[in-house]
């Protein structure tokens, strides 16, 4: 493998960097400077933290899932209830920070990409709250899969642009958002929804979502008097996982486990398990791990969850995987559906399909680790948006386990 | 023939150079070569051959769609460069490759960047343009290019700071690419007013040629830019002609642009 330029302060190890058209470099410099100034400004932090609490519903609960624990037959399982945060996912932390930053930079227009729609909804929410214009790019296929979120965004005044280029999913929504940004960078902030993209986005988004791990740490110390033995989170771009992991990176006793979407299986060619099945490359402005062919052409991906359906991963995750500090597993569509049903039936919680991927691997881990251990699953979002899609898929695939249709009749 | 040299020679004739972009493999490999040869017959002084990439961030819908068609045929970057080899043997103007960094970085070889540079040189190309590689991330690529005798072209933008423009000028050897507008490639009816001020900011820093592209569509645009820049770059409009009417249409369209360039009063 070729060596690229020596690592510098825009990188995590050899990952990260700024591989974008020159038109964006000025905006990235401005953003880097503004982010640094804002985070050092007590007034900015007070406003952000105040809104997190009174508007966003933080801290979110840490819930001991006794029936899930009993089902697993091992470690005590906790759920970090990001599904209870305003807009129904962990995404609000990031958009609140970036929205306030955009306002501070005098940019009246926000653009965003969205896969499952959770980030789009969060961006539309913050745009409404702060009085900013909002345009959300969403793959045409994802608009279909996540219709409820399209309606939510429109209700809050956002314009949703269905993306018909390329594979019509999250990757192409990002391409279109980047093109919009190249064109309108003077008055527009691109509110990237995960720990991906060119520097400073991976660092900035991480710093806005790391509150998840900080809360987990405080809550675990309070209820267990100890750190968790493992923190498990799903990974698409990787924002909820980075948010949950970051606080524990310097705590070697805490296993950090990311779960990617294996779709039909990592060997099937129809998945989006980037770390499990990808190679190093440059995508969306950063050097990271990418699902691509031998020529560097980015490959179409598949997942039952629109939010994980992305052929890249945040550069810091690539680095955590490379250094071995975090472990990355993959769960198939079938396992995600199993996790989805388990949370519904055992805990009365309908999870988003994204964190549903983390459930089955976490149960396996809980069994391995034994009764004295504790495992926290970051339940990154709620599943109202997925109910239609799950119902559709289960009807197609549940014939073997379904009750027989009523006999007789007319 | 070197790019900078060719532009200087054309400028010595009292006019700006006309630079035409067309992608390899569109609408198919043989026709793409024929289209590029037609562009040269029509009056192109320099050719940018696009090597298609799945996620062309800097390109608008016309070029992206053409790239998708080419990729749909299953052509690899090596196939594209093989065509470039046949092309450069058939034309008497320099050609450069335009593609994205990930394609260069994955070229088949022990050291991929070296292998890509080697293949470009082997194909008779004079240099490369990689629009998602800003000058400060391109230190390695500049070294590799220099070692293979390839020229480098980096982009400046109306939003670039003076400091960044200085870096781009330093790293560019073939010419300095001034993007006329904020935005991606595409056909536009009117020309941005931001091109000239950008060229004016670059001029005092260098004697290297400065060429203007992005959104240059009509002969009148070419004429206007030729009045203050050393070269005029046209992409999407010619790609559109290639898709609609093949080599004949390309030749006709480029001839119109070439007339525009020749009409310009050089400042």
B179 phi-psi bin (left φ>0, alpha ψ -120 to 50, beta other): beta
Closest residue by Cα to residue A355 from A239, A211, A193:
A239
Kindly list the catalytic residues of B: 48, 59
CB A40 within 8 A of CB A319: no
What is the three-class DSSP state of B232?
A: strand
Question: Are A4 and A287 spatial neighbours (Cβ–Cβ below 8 Å)?
Answer: yes
On whether the CB atoms of residues B211 and B232 are closer than 8 A, the answer is yes
> Rounded to an integer, what distance in angstroms lies between the CA atom of residue B257 and that of residue B259?
5
Q: Are A115 and A170 in contact (CB under 8 A)?
A: yes
Judge contact between A305 and A261, C-beta under 8 A: yes
Say which of B64, B76, B105 has its CB closest to residue A2. B105
**Residues of A in Cβ contact (< 8 Å) with B131:** 21-22
Round to whole Å and give the CA distance between A393 and A409: 27
Q: Is A43 exposed, middle or buried (0-12, 13-18, 19+ CB in 10 A)?
A: exposed
In angstroms, the separation between the Cα of residue B173 and the nearest Cα of chain A is 17
Which chain A residue is nearest to residue B179, measuring alpha carbons? A23
Burial of A406 by CB count in 10 Å (0-12 exposed, 13-18 middle, 19+ buried)? Answer: exposed
Judge whether A282 is closer than 8 Å to chain B, CB to CB: yes
Is A80 designated active site? no
Q: What is the pLDDT of residue A167?
A: 82
Q: Is B245 on the interface with A (CB under 8 A)?
A: no
Picking from B100, B134, B182, the nearest residue to A25 by CB comes out as: B134
Pairwise CA distance, residues B127 & B109, whole Å: 19
Q: A9 in contact with B at a CB cutoff of 8 Å?
A: no
Q: What pLDDT score was predicted for residue A141?
A: 86
B75 neighbourhood in chain A, CB within 8 Å: none
Chain A nearest-CA residue for B133: A19
- What chain B residue is nearest to A289 in terms of C-alpha separation? B102
Cis before B27? omega within 30: yes
Closest CB to A21 among B53, B112, B155: B155
| Subunit contact B138:A185, Cβ cutoff 8 A | no
Residue A408's pLDDT is 53
Q: Dmax of chain A from CA atoms?
A: 76
Strands A279-283 and A286-290 come out as antiparallel
B contact residues 5-64, partner A, Cβ 8 Å cutoff = 53-58, 60-61, 64
Interval B241-266: pLDDT, tens: 999 999 999 999 999 999 999 999 76
Residues of chain B short of pLDDT 50, as ranges, are none
Residue B134 in contact with partner chain A when CB distance is under 8 A: yes
Identify which of B21, B67, B23, B8 has the alpha carbon closest to the alpha carbon of residue B233. Answer: B21
**CB B137 to CB A18 under 8 A?**
yes
Along the 410 residues of chain A, how does pLDDT read in single tens digits? 454 555 567 899 999 999 999 999 999 999 999 999 999 999 999 999 999 999 999 999 999 999 999 999 999 999 999 999 999 999 999 999 999 999 999 999 999 999 989 999 999 999 999 999 999 999 998 898 889 999 999 999 999 999 998 888 899 999 999 999 999 999 999 999 999 999 999 999 999 999 999 999 999 999 999 999 999 999 999 999 999 999 999 999 999 999 999 999 999 999 999 999 999 999 999 999 999 999 999 999 999 998 999 999 999 999 999 999 999 999 999 999 999 999 999 999 999 999 999 999 999 999 999 999 999 999 999 999 999 889 988 875 544 544 555 555 44
Chain B: closest CA distance from residue A171 (Å): 9
Query: What's this model's pTM, rounded to 2 decimal places?
Result: 0.94
Q: What is the ipTM metric for this complex?
A: 0.94
- Name the 3-class secondary structure at B79: helix
Provide the 8-state DSSP code for B265: P
β pairing state of A11-12 and A279-283? unpaired
Closest by CA position to A228, among listed A330, A77, A364, A358: A77
**Is residue A268 among the annotated active site residues?**
no
A304-328 burial code (b ≥16 CB/10 A, e <16): bbbbbbbbbbbbbbbbbbbeeebbb
Instruction: Among B74, B106, B171, pick the best mutation site for testing chain A contact (most A Cβ within 10 A).
Output: B106
CA distance A80 to chain B (A): 36
Q: Which residue of A has its CA nearest to B139?
A: A5
Cβ-defined contact of B157 to A2 (cutoff 8 Å): no
Residues A77, A376: Cα–Cα separation, whole Å:
6
A21 in B contact zone (CB under 8 Å): yes
Sign of CA dihedral A306, A308, A310, A314: positive
């Amino acid at each position: 493998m070729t060596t690229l330029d020596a690592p510098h302060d825009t990188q995590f190890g050899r990952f990260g960097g700024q591989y974008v058209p020159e038109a964006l470099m000025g905006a990235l410099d401005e953003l880097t400077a503004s982010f640094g100034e804002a985070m050092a400004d007590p007034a900015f932090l007070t406003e952000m933290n105040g809104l997190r609490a009174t508007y966003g519903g933080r801290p979110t609960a840490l819930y001991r899932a006794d029936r899930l624990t009993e089902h697993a037959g091992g470690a005590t399982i906790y759920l970090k209830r990001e599904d209870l945060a305003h807009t129904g996912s962990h995404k609000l932390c990031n958009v609140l920070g970036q929205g306030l930053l955009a306002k501070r930079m005098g940019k009246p227009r926000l653009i965003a990409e969205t896969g499952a729609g959770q980030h789009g909804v969060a961006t539309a929410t913050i745009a409404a709250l702060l009085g900013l214009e909002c345009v959300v790019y969403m793959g045409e296929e994802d608009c279909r899969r996540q219709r409820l979120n399209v309606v939510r965004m429109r209700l809050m005044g956002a314009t949703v642009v269905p993306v018909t280029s390329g594979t019509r999913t999250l990757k192409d929504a990002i391409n279109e958002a980047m093109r919009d940004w190249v064109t309108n960078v003077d008055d527009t902030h691109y509110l990237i929804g995960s720990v991906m993209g060119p520097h400073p986005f991976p660092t900035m988004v991480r710093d806005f979502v790391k509150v998840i791990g900080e809360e987990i740490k405080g809550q675990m110390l309070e209820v267990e008097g100890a750190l968790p033995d493992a923190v498990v989170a799903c990974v698409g771009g990787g924002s909820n996982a980075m948010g949950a992991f970051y606080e524990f990176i310097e705590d070697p006793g805490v296993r950090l486990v990311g779960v990617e979407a294996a779709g039909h299986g990592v060997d099937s060619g129809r998945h989006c398990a980037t770390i499990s099945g990808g190679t190093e490359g440059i995508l969306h402005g950063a050097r990271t791990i990418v699902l691509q062919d031998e020529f560097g052409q980015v490959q179409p991906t598949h997942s039952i969850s629109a939010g994980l359906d992305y052929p890249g991963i945040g550069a810091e995750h690539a680095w955590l995987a490379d250094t071995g500090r975090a472990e990355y597993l993959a769960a198939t569509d079938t396992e995600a559906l199993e996790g989805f049903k388990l949370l519904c039936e055992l805990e009365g919680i309908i999870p988003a399909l994204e964190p549903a991927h983390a459930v089955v691997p976490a149960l396996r881990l809980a069994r391995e680790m034994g009764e004295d251990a504790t495992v926290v699953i970051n339940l990154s979002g709620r599943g109202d948006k997925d109910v239609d899609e799950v119902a559709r898929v289960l009807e197609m695939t549940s014939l073997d386990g379904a009750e027989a249709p009523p006999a007789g009749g007319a | 023939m070197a790019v900078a040299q060719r532009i200087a020679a054309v400028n010595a004739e009292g006019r700006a150079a006309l630079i035409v972009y067309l992608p390899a493999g569109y609408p198919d490999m043989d026709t793409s070569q024929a289209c590029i040869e037609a562009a040269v017959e029509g009056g192109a002084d320099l050719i940018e051959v696009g090597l298609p990439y799945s996620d062309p961030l800097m390109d608008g819908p016309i070029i992206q769609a053409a790239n998708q068609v080419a990729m749909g045929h299953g052509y690899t970057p090596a196939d594209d460069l093989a065509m470039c080899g046949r092309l450069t043997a058939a034309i008497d103007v320099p050609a450069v490759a335009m593609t994205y960094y990930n394609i260069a970085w994955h070229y088949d070889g022990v050291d991929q960047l070296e292998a890509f540079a080697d293949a470009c040189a082997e194909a008779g190309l004079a240099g490369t343009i990689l629009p998602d590689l800003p000058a400060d991330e391109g230190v390695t690529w500049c070294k590799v290019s220099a070692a293979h005798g390839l020229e480098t072209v980096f982009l400046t933008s109306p939003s670039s700071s003076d400091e960044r423009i200085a870096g781009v000028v330093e790293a560019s050897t073939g010419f300095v690419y001034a993007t006329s507008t904020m935005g991606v490639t595409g056909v536009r009816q009117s020309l941005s007013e931001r091109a000239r001020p950008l060229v004016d900011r670059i001029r005092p820093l260098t004697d290297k040629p400065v060429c203007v592209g992005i959104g240059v569509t009509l002969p009148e645009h070419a004429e206007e830019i030729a009045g203050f820049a050393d070269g005029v770059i046209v992409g999407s409009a010619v790609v559109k002609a290639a898709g609609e009417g093949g080599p004949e249409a390309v030749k006709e369209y480029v001839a119109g642009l070439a007339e525009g360039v020749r009409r310009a009063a050089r400042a």
